[in-house]
Amino acid sequence: MSTRPKYLNLVQIRMPLPALVSILHRISGAALFLALPLMLYWLQRSLASQEAFDALKGTFSNGFVKLVVLGLLWGYFHHLLAGIRHLFLDLDFGTDLAPARMSSALVLGVSIALTVMAGVMLW
């Protein structure tokens, strides 16, 4: 028997859905944190004057900016819903396998649905 460590190919490992939701929760939180200066700048520009607000509205008509905003909205929705899910798990609700998988699917489905609805309103 070899005592060498096993090589784990992380691309080939199939993650369970609750693990994927947990990883996405961390990624979305980090993305929202890193985007915070941009969002605060947008808020400051929108409140500075009517001209600055109109210029910001023009910026938001750009397709790339809309995609960035849509990504931030998905990050917000996913982070919020996954955080609520984690709070329930901390209270020992839904910790069995079937409810944990169902709540993970629910978090993904609802966050995507809310993002699609926001995207329709954005475009």
Q: How many domains does the chain have?
A: 1
- Which CATH number is 34's domain given? 1.20.1300.10
Q: What is the pLDDT, as a whole number, of residue 10?
A: 73
Instruction: Let me know if residue 1 belongs to a domain.
Output: no
Say how far apart CA 96 and CA 89 lie, in whole Å. Answer: 10
Q: What is the pLDDT of residues 11-60, one digit of tens each?
A: 788 889 999 999 999 999 999 999 999 999 999 999 999 999 999 999 99
Which class for 47: exposed (0-12), middle (13-18), buried (19 or more C-beta within 10 A)? exposed
What Å distances lie between residue 108 and 8, 12, 81, 100, CA to CA? 27, 22, 9, 12
Report residue 3 as tokens. Answer: 């005592």
Q: What is the mean pLDDT of residues 82-107?
A: 96
Please report whether residue 38 resides in a domain: yes
Please spell the DSSP secondary structure of 48-94, one letter per residue. Answer: H-HHHHHHHHHHTTSHHHHHHHHHHHHHHHHHHHHHHHHHHHHTTSS
